């Protein structure tokens, strides 16, 4: 690597950055991330909506998803609603609603649904609101909360109770085609992206060259 073309920063260099610059820099380093709208509802019946990019797969048996929250040093409605009611939803969205989704990160004193023009939608007896304009939706029940000692962030782990996925997005092997659903992704704190699939590849084994799964399934 030609060092003349590379910015070599050490930990002390990063820590000395201006706060906003440091947040943008570090948040961008981890690459493209899942971005979803989290729907929740207070005990008083106020619907809440917030965009989150710190969402991770925790396990498939049982099906678990984790969401990382910033330290609970100020009022955080989504986190507080989840603790109070024990449920929340994840809602993937498309390019059509990127502006509204991003706007949910503003500090509103009212429901973000009303403030942004997005529509709350309820499914049966599940208490937390989905986003009607969403494309792939997941209903979760709170399982546990882990506090990260290094910086005080909170890892909320939810069990999947139900999913709402367009049938045409679900492959014969269970793979969910997010690109077919026009789901967007993000990088950093405020950059949204569409995707372009390169390939799905077979399970890697020593001495065996991976094959393209999409070609195998099409035969």
| Predicted local confidence at residue 219, as pLDDT | 44
Q: How many CA atoms lie within 13 A of 65 on its CB side?
A: 22
Residue 81 backbone zone (phi > 0: left; psi -120 to 50: alpha; other: beta): alpha
Q: Over 80: is that where the pLDDT of 164 sits?
A: yes
Distance, CA of 200 to CA of 195 (rounded, Å): 14
Which domains occur in the chain, in start order?
A: 14-218 (2.30.110.10)
Q: Over 90: is that where the pLDDT of 171 sits?
A: yes
Band (121; pLDDT cuts 50, 70, 90): very high
Residues 72-96 have pLDDT tens digits of: 766 688 999 999 999 999 999 999 9
């Amino acid at each position: 690597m030609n060092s003349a073309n590379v910015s070599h920063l050490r930990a002390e260099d990063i820590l000395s950055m201006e706060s906003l610059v440091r947040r943008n820099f570090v948040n961008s380093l981890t690459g493209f991330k899942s971005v979803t709208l989290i729907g929740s509802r207070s005990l008083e019946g106020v619907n809440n909506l917030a965009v989150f990019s710190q969402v991770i797969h925790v396990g498939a048996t049982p099906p678990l998803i984790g969401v990382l929250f910033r330290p609970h040093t100020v009022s955080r409605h989504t986190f507080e609603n989840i603790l109070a009611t024990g449920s929340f939803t994840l809602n993937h969205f498309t390019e059509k609603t990127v502006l509204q989704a991003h706007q949910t990160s503003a500090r509103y004193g009212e429901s973000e649904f009303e403030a942004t023009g997005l529509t709350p939608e309820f499914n049966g007896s599940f208490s937390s609101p989905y986003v009607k304009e969403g494309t792939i939706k997941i209903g979760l029940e709170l399982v546990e909360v882990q506090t990260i000692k290094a910086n005080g962030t909170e890892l909320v782990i939810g069990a999947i109770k139900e999913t709402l996925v367009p049938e045409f997005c679900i492959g014969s092997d269970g793979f969910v085609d997010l690109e077919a659903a026009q789901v967007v992704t993000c990088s950093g704190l405020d950059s949204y992206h569409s995707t372009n699939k390169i390939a799905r590849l077979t399970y890697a084994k020593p001495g065996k060259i991976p094959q393209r799964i999409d070609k195998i399934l099409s035969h």
